[in-house]
Amino acid sequence: MYVKDLYKCERSDSPFTKPVEAIKIELNRPNLAKIDIILVYRVSNTKKSFEQELEELLRNSSTETYLIGDLNNDLKKSSEPSTISLNNIISSSNFEQVISKPTRVTPTSKSLIDVIILNRKALCQSSGTLNEVIADHSIIYTIRKKPRCVKCPRKVISTRSFKNINEAELRRLIRTAPWWILETKADIEEKFILFLDICKSILNIFAPVKRKRVRILKPYWMTSTYEEVCSKVGKAKKEAHRVNSPEKWAEFKSIRNKSFHLKHRMKMQSIKQKVEEETNIDDSKMYWKLFNDEVGRSKRAMAIPTIYHNGRQIDDTLEKLNIFNKSFLKSFPLPANSSPTLEETECERTLEQIQLTSEDIQYIIQNMERNKPTGADGLPPIFFKICANEISPVLTDQIIR
């Protein structure tokens, strides 16, 4: 094994029992975290205890770790129990296996038995195999890159500018657009898509979509004092790297530790002040929003898992919801004086009985807020307000039909 002079190399005992052959090496560099490299060869008749030892090793690893070697387990056979067990151990320990191509190729078979398992995928610049070798196994490799601070991504939005458009010409094109082509579509969804295409093709002439970078709003707790503390820590670290003396590194660590506790206190005070400034202190939603923002929790759509009901597998989402509702009503029946359900009431008018006129549509458009953001259809409210007289007859005709 070849190691640069700037690293201090120490060999420790094997983390596995016989007959597994392994070497553990620790690489240390001044003022940087250590790196553990484990070279392993697992013979085919290894006991079941190897998986337990491997799981314990990976789970207890707190440093940057690389496990490299021949595990005698073909990862290409993803349905094999041994492969499934090995993959579960790797993923549950927050490690990743970065070799994807077969490492042992014969005239009759291809297998992936040589692996590189690591827990710092962000530091892995590239990895792969070298096949032009004499041995029956390909050489596996990974290239580690220097760690860099992950920069906050810039926010980019898509927008249309209506600042200097020719409104009269826009109205004329909307008025003379080939709306008759909507009658060639029988399906309402196809008509709607065609309607949007016509509107957007005209709108792109006067207000094309542009992408622009905008400033990301800083968190309310990131005050100027907070930023000054962060700046001092950054300057101390740069100075320690430049001078590279034990005194400067000790000074940097002292400033970093003091600022760490100071920043936490400042952040806590800002959150406390924001809570006290809220007028409706009994609103639990506000507290949950603050909590979710701080822990990084966000809403996400989750699919309802497959359920079995009366010996039958239910895949339809609507049917699943109906089953859940019936089960809920059985467990928590409605009180006797509760309001009637939707099935027990009758609507005054059906959709076919509702009559809309062009004036009604135009009135609704004129009451829209001009500067509201674009909806799911991609057409901003300002477009409808400018072309209210021209677009309302088209919308009315499609709604009636």
Query: 8-12 and 21-29 as β-strands: parallel, antiparallel, unpaired?
Result: antiparallel
Buried b (16+ CB within 10 A) or exposed e, 204-227: eebbeeeeeeeeeeeeebeeeebe
DSSP string for 180-204: GGGGG--SHHHHHHHHHHHHHHHHH
The residue with tokens 């001044």 is: 30
Q: Which segment of 67-81, 191-205, 304-318 scores lowest on mean pLDDT?
A: 304-318
Task: Please state, in angstroms and rounded to a whole number, the distance separating the CA atoms of residues 195 and 211.
Answer: 24
Q: What is the reported pLDDT for 298?
A: 63
DSSP 8-state code for residue 54: H
Q: The tokens of 98 are what? A: 């970065």
Under 8 Å between Cβ of 86 and 71: yes
Task: Express each pLDDT in 100-142 by its tens digit.
Answer: 888 888 878 888 889 999 988 888 888 888 877 777 888 899 9
Task: Please state, in angstroms and rounded to a whole number, the distance separating the CA atoms of residues 331 and 182.
Answer: 50
Task: Please state, in angstroms and rounded to a whole number, the distance separating the CA atoms of residues 14 and 20.
Answer: 9
Q: Please name which of 176, 186, 173 lies closest in space to residue 398, comparing C-alpha atoms.
A: 186
Q: What is the reported pLDDT for 342?
A: 42
Pure H helices in 278-312:
284-295
Whether residue 150 is predicted with pLDDT greater than 50 in this model: the reply is no
Query: 32-41 and 64-70 as β-strands: parallel, antiparallel, unpaired?
Result: parallel
The residue with tokens 């088209």 is: 394
Mean pLDDT score across all residues of the chain: 81
Q: The tokens of 20 are what? A: 């597994």
Over residues 6-32, mean pLDDT: 83
What confidence tier does 176 reach under pLDDT thresholds 50, 70, 90?
Answer: very high
Task: Express each pLDDT in 85-111 by its tens digit.
Answer: 888 888 888 899 999 888 888 878 888
Whether residue 287 is predicted with pLDDT greater than 50 in this model: the reply is yes
Task: Express each pLDDT in 321-379 by its tens digit.
Answer: 788 878 777 776 655 555 444 444 444 555 556 677 888 888 888 888 888 878 778 88
